[in-house]
Amino acid sequence: MAHPTSAGAALTIQDIVDAIVREIDEGRYPVGSLLPSEAQLQAQFGATRYRLREAMSALRKLGVIDSRAGIGTHVLARNPTPFFVHSQQTLESIMEAARTTQLKLERAGLVAADEQLAGLLQAEPGSQWLFLDTLRYLRGEARPTGALWLYMRPEFAGVAERLEAWNGPVFKLIERLYGVGVAVVEQEIDAAPLESRLAERLDAVPGSPCLQVTRHWFDGAGKLVQCSVGLYPQGRSRYRSRLPLASL
């Protein structure tokens, strides 16, 4: 389908982005399918290679598509997804980021740590932990921005029933309910493929890359309060840091 413009004017980069998003939303290119080749899209839109590549770059940043060498360009989502922006300066900035989202509790219960989980929690194998399986949503959005798995000490069981009504980070809810504060947070950021069952829950493509953010929250005595594992599909989350340079 050609996309001529009035008076023969060339399509802008935004015109191409809007047209592809519209065709995806209308079902011409379903989620999981491949877009036409670069040459075919150039012909379809009458666009230069530069303009088309800029449009495709914009679509990747919006989380709509993903391109892989030798495979092609997959459709990841029907609509552009607003980003969940994580700020990295202080605990206070983490708190502000958490207030822009809402957690939906999918399931909760006690789990016994096997060797793998014990390694994650820096705990003894067989020890008991409260596990909360949640989905994270930007406020006002219907599609989750990611999944958040929470492991915490069993004595914090009251968190589960109050979680969805809480506006803020979970560690502050623990502090309010039990008087246990967090003094230090350790964070690791990694990339991982989305497992198929989780991808289905997140309306994402199985095997597509996701951002994995693991945080350990410790009290003043160095005891683990909670461990959180966030999994965010490509295009739905960004990390922002501002690092002051100390005088040399």
In the listed set 29, 49, 75, which residue is the last one of a domain according to the structure? 75
Q: Which amino acid is at 167?
A: N
Question: Has residue 110 been placed in a domain?
Answer: yes
Residues 221 and 111 in one domain: yes
In the listed set 75, 94, 120, which residue is the last one of a domain according to the structure? 75
Residues 89 and 33 in one domain: no
DSSP code, position 34 = B
Tally of domains within the chain: 2
Domain at 56, CATH number: 1.10.10.10
User: What does pTM read for this prediction?
Assistant: 0.65
In the listed set 45, 75, 105, which residue is the last one of a domain according to the structure? 75
Question: Has residue 41 been placed in a domain?
Answer: yes
**pLDDT tens, the chain, 248 aa long:** 445 443 345 788 888 988 998 999 889 999 889 999 999 999 999 999 988 998 888 888 777 888 888 889 989 887 766 555 555 555 566 666 677 789 999 999 999 999 999 999 999 999 999 999 999 998 888 889 999 999 999 999 999 999 999 988 899 999 999 999 999 999 899 998 999 999 999 988 888 889 999 999 999 999 999 999 999 988 777 776 666 666 55
CB 128 within 8 A of CB 150: no
Q: Tell me the residue ranges of DSSP E strands in the chain.
A: 65-68, 72-75, 84-87, 101-112, 128-138, 146-152, 184-193, 209-218, 224-233, 237-240
DSSP code, position 205 = -
- Which pLDDT does position 225 carry in this prediction? 96
**Beta-carbon neighbour count of residue 216 at 10 Å?**
19
In angstroms, the CA 38 to CA 52 distance is 8
Residue 149 phi, psi (nearest 5): -100, 130
Question: Has residue 248 been placed in a domain?
Answer: no
Residues 107 and 225 in one domain: yes
Residues 133 and 183 in one domain: yes
Question: Has residue 245 been placed in a domain?
Answer: no
- Which pLDDT does position 6 carry in this prediction? 37
Residues 111 and 227 in one domain: yes
Residues 183 and 233 in one domain: yes
CB 52 within 8 A of CB 38: yes
Please give the residue range of the domain that contains residue 104: 84-240
Residues 58 and 116 in one domain: no
Residues 46 and 142 in one domain: no
